[in-house]
Copies of this chain bind each other. A is one copy, B any other.
Amino acid sequence: MSTDNHPFDRAVALVATGVPGQYQGQASQDYWNMVGPYGGITAASLVRAMQQHPQCLGDPVSITVNYAAAVGAGAFVIDANPVRTNRSTQHWLLTVKQADEAGVMQVITTATAVTAARRETWSATDQPMPAVTPAADVPRVPALVGAVEWLNRYEMRFLDGMLPMKEDGTEHDSQSRLWVRDNPPRPLDFASLAAVSDVFFPRVWLRRAKRVPAGTVSITVYFHAGREELAAAGDAPLLAQARGQEFRNGFFDQTAQLWSASGQMLASSHQIVYYKE
């Protein structure tokens, strides 16, 4: 499948509006979540906006996306502003705006990011990929009738920590491990790596075996992969691991790692998530 025609590429397609650093996109029905597009696809669109900016220096190293309001159907506008350019790093402020019912543009999402021209240095890991069953030997989660649409955009194979089928309030730990890739498969890039970093259902659902209302407030992705590591990862499944840390008075945080099938950590990610009750 050509990447141009992949649902992911259609979802993150942006058009320059003519205002410097401003791009228009369309909220993707292919990645629809409950009340708006999947948060990961918004993060991916912001990565794309930086990459399309004529002044972009290097590749993404870090992005933090804050979900101030649900993105609604229709057009949205991204303002991508490289506020500081150093010799090898560049700092960005980004906002996503969308017209409200009265036609007034409102801030829906804020973000900051860092891009950098990376050089090869001494490298090591302190978080090796856990030894797990290869993706090919793990059953694929079947398409769920009535599930939110974005779930159909990922091929998932759970090793542990799948969403409890029975909501019995039994408390257990909040770790999930799964093999995951785009559906249909698509070569990994910075934007799709940002998107898949948000693939985990809310940890509170697993911890409590209860689906309470929950939504990401802020996510951070650190990109450890450069272009070569992305190319090597290709369209093979990634091992994705997430675990909640603290659930306290309406918010919990989550720490996550994504490795290529060959054991290279491609990204680490963190988020803080609102939950009710």
Interface residues of A (CB under 8 A from B): 61-62, 64, 66, 68-69, 83-84, 86, 89, 91-93, 95, 106-108, 110-112, 114, 116, 118-127, 171, 173-175, 203, 207-208, 217-218, 220, 222, 224-226, 243-251, 253, 255, 257, 265, 268, 270, 272, 274-277
Contacts and interface: CB of A to CB of B under 8 A. Distances in A.
A127 B89 contact: no
A62 B121 contact: no
B126 A207 contact: yes
Given A124-B171, A127-B246, 14 more contacts: A62-B217, A62-B272, A66-B114, A68-B83, A84-B107, A84-B110, A93-B110, A114-B217, A118-B250, A119-B250, A224-B253, A245-B265, A246-B268, A268-B270
A142 to B, nearest CB: 28
A259 B248 CA distance: 13
A256 to B, nearest CB: 10
Contacts of A121: 249-250, 275-277
Identical copies in the complex = 2
The 6 closest A-B pairs by CB, nearest first: A68-B84, A68-B91, A64-B64, A127-B245, A246-B265, A224-B246
Contacts of A108: 84
Contact of A122 (B92, B272, B277): B277
Contacts of A255: 255, 268, 270
A179 to B, nearest CB: 19
Given A83-B95, A272-B222, A275-B121, A126 B246 contact: yes
18 contacts: A62-B218, A83-B95, A83-B110, A120-B249, A122-B208, A125-B247, A126-B173, A126-B175, A126-B203, A127-B245, A222-B246, A222-B272, A225-B248, A245-B268, A246-B265, A246-B268, A255-B255, A255-B268
